[in-house]
Amino acid sequence: MPIKPTTRSSRMGSVVRRSFVAAIVAALTMGTAAACGGGSSGGGDQTIKPNSAAASLVPAAIKSKGSLVVAADASYAPNEFLGTDGTTVEGMDADLAKAIGQELGLSVSVKNATFDAIIPGLANGRYDLGMSSFTDTKEREKTVDFVTYFSAGTSFYEKASGGPPITDLSSLCGTTVAVESGTTQEADAKGQSKKCTGGKSVKVLTFNDQSQANLAINADRAQVGMADSPVAAYQVKQSSGAFKLVGTPYGTAPYGIAIPQGNGMAKAVQAALKDLMSNGTYNQILTKWGIQSGAITDPVINGAIS
Protein backbone atom coordinates (compact mmCIF):
# COMPACT_ATOMS: atom_id res chain seq x y z
CA MET A 1 0.00 0.00 0.00
CA PRO A 2 1.22 3.54 -0.52
CA ILE A 3 3.04 5.09 2.41
CA LYS A 4 3.39 8.80 2.97
CA PRO A 5 6.93 10.12 2.45
CA THR A 6 7.05 11.17 6.09
CA THR A 7 5.90 7.90 7.65
CA ARG A 8 8.05 6.44 10.41
CA SER A 9 8.75 2.81 10.80
CA SER A 10 6.96 -0.17 10.14
CA ARG A 11 9.73 4.61 14.98
CA MET A 12 21.63 -2.00 28.39
CA GLY A 13 24.12 -0.90 29.88
CA SER A 14 24.63 1.70 32.50
CA VAL A 15 22.82 4.72 31.15
CA VAL A 16 19.81 6.71 32.32
CA ARG A 17 16.56 5.66 30.69
CA ARG A 18 13.01 6.78 31.24
CA SER A 19 10.44 4.43 32.71
CA PHE A 20 7.34 3.64 30.74
CA VAL A 21 5.34 3.91 33.95
CA ALA A 22 5.55 7.68 33.63
CA ALA A 23 4.00 7.48 30.19
CA ILE A 24 0.79 5.99 31.55
CA VAL A 25 0.36 8.43 34.40
CA ALA A 26 -1.49 11.57 33.33
CA ALA A 27 0.72 13.84 35.39
CA LEU A 28 3.83 12.50 33.65
CA THR A 29 2.86 12.01 30.04
CA MET A 30 6.30 12.25 28.51
CA GLY A 31 7.11 8.53 28.76
CA THR A 32 9.82 6.40 30.22
CA ALA A 33 12.20 7.29 33.23
CA ALA A 34 14.24 5.14 35.56
CA ALA A 35 17.92 4.89 36.28
CA CYS A 36 19.72 1.77 35.23
CA GLY A 37 22.94 1.17 37.16
CA GLY A 38 26.49 2.40 37.42
CA GLY A 39 28.98 3.63 34.85
CA SER A 40 30.37 1.78 31.87
CA SER A 41 32.14 2.46 28.65
CA GLY A 42 30.89 1.49 25.22
CA GLY A 43 28.22 2.60 22.82
CA GLY A 44 27.87 6.34 22.49
CA ASP A 45 30.03 6.94 25.60
CA GLN A 46 33.39 6.01 24.12
CA THR A 47 35.82 8.09 22.09
CA ILE A 48 36.29 6.93 18.50
CA LYS A 49 39.25 7.92 16.38
CA PRO A 50 38.19 9.64 13.11
CA ASN A 51 38.31 7.43 10.03
CA SER A 52 40.20 9.37 7.38
CA ALA A 53 38.73 7.40 4.47
CA ALA A 54 35.16 8.00 5.64
CA ALA A 55 35.88 11.63 6.55
CA SER A 56 37.20 12.29 3.05
CA LEU A 57 33.71 11.58 1.69
CA VAL A 58 32.02 14.33 3.73
CA PRO A 59 30.66 17.07 1.41
CA ALA A 60 32.61 20.33 1.54
CA ALA A 61 29.67 22.33 2.92
CA ILE A 62 29.36 20.07 5.95
CA LYS A 63 33.10 19.65 6.39
CA SER A 64 33.57 23.42 6.51
CA LYS A 65 31.08 23.89 9.36
CA GLY A 66 32.52 20.89 11.20
CA SER A 67 29.25 19.66 12.66
CA LEU A 68 26.10 17.63 12.07
CA VAL A 69 22.61 18.54 13.24
CA VAL A 70 20.64 15.32 13.66
CA ALA A 71 16.86 15.28 14.15
CA ALA A 72 14.96 12.66 16.16
CA ASP A 73 11.41 12.47 17.51
CA ALA A 74 12.35 11.64 21.09
CA SER A 75 9.24 9.68 22.06
CA TYR A 76 10.24 6.22 20.88
CA ALA A 77 12.30 4.51 23.60
CA PRO A 78 14.71 2.78 23.46
CA ASN A 79 15.50 4.13 20.01
CA GLU A 80 15.16 7.80 20.90
CA PHE A 81 13.78 9.51 24.00
CA LEU A 82 14.40 12.47 26.29
CA GLY A 83 16.68 11.98 29.29
CA THR A 84 15.80 12.95 32.83
CA ASP A 85 16.80 16.57 32.17
CA GLY A 86 13.91 16.81 29.71
CA THR A 87 16.07 18.09 26.86
CA THR A 88 18.88 15.64 26.06
CA VAL A 89 18.00 13.08 23.39
CA GLU A 90 19.19 9.61 24.37
CA GLY A 91 18.84 6.11 22.95
CA MET A 92 20.22 3.95 20.17
CA ASP A 93 19.87 6.57 17.45
CA ALA A 94 21.52 9.31 19.51
CA ASP A 95 24.44 7.02 20.35
CA LEU A 96 24.87 5.95 16.74
CA ALA A 97 24.68 9.55 15.53
CA LYS A 98 27.47 10.58 17.88
CA ALA A 99 29.58 7.59 16.85
CA ILE A 100 29.10 8.43 13.16
CA GLY A 101 30.12 12.01 13.88
CA GLN A 102 33.31 10.86 15.57
CA GLU A 103 34.11 8.60 12.63
CA LEU A 104 33.74 11.59 10.31
CA GLY A 105 35.57 14.08 12.53
CA LEU A 106 32.40 16.12 13.09
CA SER A 107 30.67 17.30 16.25
CA VAL A 108 27.05 16.17 16.59
CA SER A 109 23.99 17.90 17.99
CA VAL A 110 20.89 15.71 18.30
CA LYS A 111 17.70 17.79 18.26
CA ASN A 112 14.23 16.71 19.36
CA ALA A 113 11.77 17.28 16.51
CA THR A 114 8.21 16.36 15.63
CA PHE A 115 8.43 13.28 13.44
CA ASP A 116 6.46 14.73 10.54
CA ALA A 117 8.79 17.77 10.49
CA ILE A 118 12.04 15.86 10.08
CA ILE A 119 12.03 15.14 6.35
CA PRO A 120 10.89 18.69 5.48
CA GLY A 121 13.64 19.91 7.81
CA LEU A 122 16.19 17.93 5.81
CA ALA A 123 14.91 19.49 2.60
CA ASN A 124 15.16 23.06 3.89
CA GLY A 125 18.59 22.62 5.45
CA ARG A 126 17.57 22.77 9.09
CA TYR A 127 18.88 19.25 9.72
CA ASP A 128 21.75 17.29 8.21
CA LEU A 129 20.52 13.82 9.16
CA GLY A 130 17.27 12.28 10.37
CA MET A 131 17.70 9.37 12.78
CA SER A 132 14.27 8.56 14.16
CA SER A 133 13.45 4.91 13.44
CA PHE A 134 12.60 5.69 9.82
CA THR A 135 11.77 2.67 7.73
CA ASP A 136 13.53 2.92 4.38
CA THR A 137 10.74 2.70 1.79
CA LYS A 138 10.71 3.19 -1.96
CA GLU A 139 8.15 5.96 -1.51
CA ARG A 140 10.43 7.86 0.88
CA GLU A 141 13.41 7.38 -1.39
CA LYS A 142 11.67 9.74 -3.82
CA THR A 143 12.29 12.50 -1.27
CA VAL A 144 15.46 11.64 0.68
CA ASP A 145 18.39 9.26 0.57
CA PHE A 146 18.72 6.53 3.19
CA VAL A 147 21.57 4.50 4.63
CA THR A 148 20.25 1.32 6.26
CA TYR A 149 21.43 0.48 9.78
CA PHE A 150 18.87 -1.71 11.60
CA SER A 151 16.05 -4.18 10.97
CA ALA A 152 12.66 -4.10 12.71
CA GLY A 153 9.07 -5.22 12.29
CA THR A 154 5.78 -4.22 13.92
CA SER A 155 4.36 -5.67 17.15
CA PHE A 156 0.95 -5.40 18.82
CA TYR A 157 0.40 -4.72 22.51
CA GLU A 158 -2.57 -4.13 24.82
CA LYS A 159 -3.48 -3.85 28.49
CA ALA A 160 -2.39 -6.90 30.46
CA SER A 161 -5.75 -6.91 32.24
CA GLY A 162 -7.49 -7.93 29.06
CA GLY A 163 -8.12 -7.00 25.46
CA PRO A 164 -9.29 -8.38 22.12
CA PRO A 165 -7.65 -11.62 20.89
CA ILE A 166 -5.14 -10.09 18.46
CA THR A 167 -3.11 -12.46 16.31
CA ASP A 168 -2.37 -10.42 13.18
CA LEU A 169 -3.59 -7.41 11.20
CA SER A 170 -6.84 -9.12 10.19
CA SER A 171 -7.86 -9.53 13.83
CA LEU A 172 -7.87 -5.73 14.27
CA CYS A 173 -11.28 -5.53 12.59
CA GLY A 174 -13.83 -4.25 15.09
CA THR A 175 -11.21 -2.79 17.45
CA THR A 176 -9.86 0.67 18.25
CA VAL A 177 -6.13 1.04 17.64
CA ALA A 178 -3.75 3.73 18.94
CA VAL A 179 -0.72 4.64 16.81
CA GLU A 180 1.71 7.48 16.37
CA SER A 181 0.75 9.81 13.53
CA GLY A 182 2.67 9.40 10.29
CA THR A 183 3.87 5.86 10.94
CA THR A 184 3.54 2.84 8.73
CA GLN A 185 1.51 1.35 11.57
CA GLU A 186 -1.07 4.06 10.89
CA ALA A 187 -1.06 3.17 7.19
CA ASP A 188 -1.27 -0.56 7.95
CA ALA A 189 -4.20 -0.18 10.36
CA LYS A 190 -6.13 2.04 7.95
CA GLY A 191 -5.34 -0.30 5.08
CA GLN A 192 -6.62 -3.26 7.07
CA SER A 193 -9.82 -1.38 7.91
CA LYS A 194 -10.66 -1.23 4.20
CA LYS A 195 -10.44 -5.02 4.07
CA CYS A 196 -12.73 -5.63 7.05
CA THR A 197 -16.21 -7.02 6.41
CA GLY A 198 -19.53 -7.05 8.22
CA GLY A 199 -19.26 -3.43 9.26
CA LYS A 200 -16.39 -4.21 11.62
CA SER A 201 -13.84 -1.60 10.56
CA VAL A 202 -10.71 -0.58 12.46
CA LYS A 203 -11.04 2.70 14.33
CA VAL A 204 -7.59 4.29 14.17
CA LEU A 205 -6.66 6.94 16.75
CA THR A 206 -3.50 8.87 15.86
CA PHE A 207 -1.29 10.81 18.25
CA ASN A 208 1.67 13.16 17.97
CA ASP A 209 3.95 10.87 19.95
CA GLN A 210 4.08 7.33 21.29
CA SER A 211 3.47 8.35 24.90
CA GLN A 212 0.06 9.78 24.00
CA ALA A 213 -0.87 6.57 22.19
CA ASN A 214 0.09 4.58 25.28
CA LEU A 215 -2.01 6.81 27.51
CA ALA A 216 -5.03 6.23 25.25
CA ILE A 217 -4.71 2.48 25.73
CA ASN A 218 -4.25 2.81 29.47
CA ALA A 219 -7.36 5.02 29.66
CA ASP A 220 -9.39 2.50 27.58
CA ARG A 221 -9.83 4.95 24.71
CA ALA A 222 -8.10 2.35 22.53
CA GLN A 223 -7.77 -1.40 22.87
CA VAL A 224 -4.61 -2.13 20.90
CA GLY A 225 -1.30 -0.40 20.28
CA MET A 226 1.07 -0.91 17.36
CA ALA A 227 4.73 0.08 17.26
CA ASP A 228 8.10 -1.07 15.98
CA SER A 229 9.02 -4.39 17.58
CA PRO A 230 11.96 -3.12 19.70
CA VAL A 231 9.90 -0.15 20.87
CA ALA A 232 6.83 -2.20 21.75
CA ALA A 233 8.92 -4.78 23.60
CA TYR A 234 10.80 -2.10 25.55
CA GLN A 235 7.65 -0.27 26.58
CA VAL A 236 5.89 -3.45 27.68
CA LYS A 237 8.96 -4.38 29.71
CA GLN A 238 8.99 -0.96 31.38
CA SER A 239 5.23 -0.88 32.08
CA SER A 240 5.45 -2.77 35.40
CA GLY A 241 2.94 -5.30 34.13
CA ALA A 242 0.43 -2.80 32.75
CA PHE A 243 0.80 -3.92 29.12
CA LYS A 244 1.55 -7.16 27.29
CA LEU A 245 2.66 -8.10 23.78
CA VAL A 246 0.07 -9.96 21.71
CA GLY A 247 -0.07 -11.55 18.29
CA THR A 248 2.78 -12.15 15.88
CA PRO A 249 5.20 -9.42 14.71
CA TYR A 250 5.08 -8.70 10.99
CA GLY A 251 6.66 -6.59 8.27
CA THR A 252 10.39 -6.76 9.00
CA ALA A 253 12.11 -3.95 7.08
CA PRO A 254 15.28 -1.83 7.34
CA TYR A 255 15.59 1.38 9.30
CA GLY A 256 17.43 4.08 7.39
CA ILE A 257 19.29 7.25 8.28
CA ALA A 258 17.53 9.98 6.28
CA ILE A 259 19.81 12.35 4.36
CA PRO A 260 19.07 15.24 1.97
CA GLN A 261 18.80 13.73 -1.48
CA GLY A 262 21.86 13.83 -3.69
CA ASN A 263 24.14 15.91 -1.44
CA GLY A 264 26.79 13.18 -1.23
CA MET A 265 26.56 12.67 2.52
CA ALA A 266 25.08 9.18 2.17
CA LYS A 267 28.42 7.70 1.09
CA ALA A 268 30.20 9.23 4.08
CA VAL A 269 27.57 7.90 6.50
CA GLN A 270 27.70 4.47 4.87
CA ALA A 271 31.50 4.34 5.22
CA ALA A 272 31.30 5.42 8.85
CA LEU A 273 28.70 2.76 9.63
CA LYS A 274 30.77 0.05 7.97
CA ASP A 275 33.72 0.95 10.17
CA LEU A 276 31.55 1.04 13.30
CA MET A 277 30.30 -2.43 12.42
CA SER A 278 33.78 -3.80 11.83
CA ASN A 279 35.34 -2.29 14.97
CA GLY A 280 32.56 -3.50 17.27
CA THR A 281 31.13 -0.13 18.27
CA TYR A 282 27.85 -0.69 16.42
CA ASN A 283 27.18 -3.95 18.25
CA GLN A 284 28.13 -2.35 21.59
CA ILE A 285 25.52 0.35 21.07
CA LEU A 286 22.76 -2.09 20.17
CA THR A 287 23.69 -4.36 23.07
CA LYS A 288 23.62 -1.38 25.42
CA TRP A 289 19.94 -0.89 24.56
CA GLY A 290 19.06 -4.60 24.41
CA ILE A 291 18.13 -4.56 20.72
CA GLN A 292 21.04 -6.41 19.16
CA SER A 293 18.60 -8.82 17.49
CA GLY A 294 17.96 -6.07 14.93
CA ALA A 295 21.61 -5.75 13.91
CA ILE A 296 22.56 -5.79 10.24
CA THR A 297 25.98 -6.44 8.72
CA ASP A 298 25.95 -4.41 5.50
CA PRO A 299 24.63 -0.83 5.42
CA VAL A 300 23.40 0.09 1.95
CA ILE A 301 22.24 3.30 0.32
CA ASN A 302 18.54 3.29 -0.57
CA GLY A 303 17.94 -0.35 0.29
CA ALA A 304 14.15 -0.28 0.55
CA ILE A 305 12.36 -3.60 0.28
CA SER A 306 9.03 -2.08 -0.72
Which of 20-24, 176-180, 182-186, 290-294 is predicted with the least confidence, judged by mean pLDDT? 20-24
pLDDT tops 70 at residue 22: no
CATH node for 17-151+257-294 = 3.40.190.10
pLDDT tops 80 at residue 67: yes
Round the CA-based radius of gyration of the chain to a whole number and report it. Answer: 19
pLDDT digits (tens, 9 = 90+) for 198-230: 999 999 999 988 889 999 999 999 999 999 999
pLDDT tops 90 at residue 245: yes
Strands (E), 45-190: 67-72, 75-76, 80-82, 89-90, 107-112, 129-130, 144-159, 176-180
Question: Do residues 224 and 162 make contact, with C-beta atoms less than 8 angstroms apart?
Answer: no
pLDDT tops 90 at residue 36: no
Query: Which sequence spans correspond to the domains of the chain?
Result: 17-151+257-294, 153-251
Can you say whether residue 88 is alpha, beta or left, with left for phi > 0 and alpha for psi between -120 and 50 degrees? Answer: beta
Which of 32-36, 71-75, 98-102, 200-204 is predicted with the least confidence, judged by mean pLDDT? 32-36
Tell which CATH classification among 3.40.50.1820, 3.40.50.10320, 1.10.150.240, 3.40.190.10 matches the domain 153-251.
Answer: 3.40.190.10
pLDDT value at position 237? 84
Average pLDDT over residues 161-179: 96
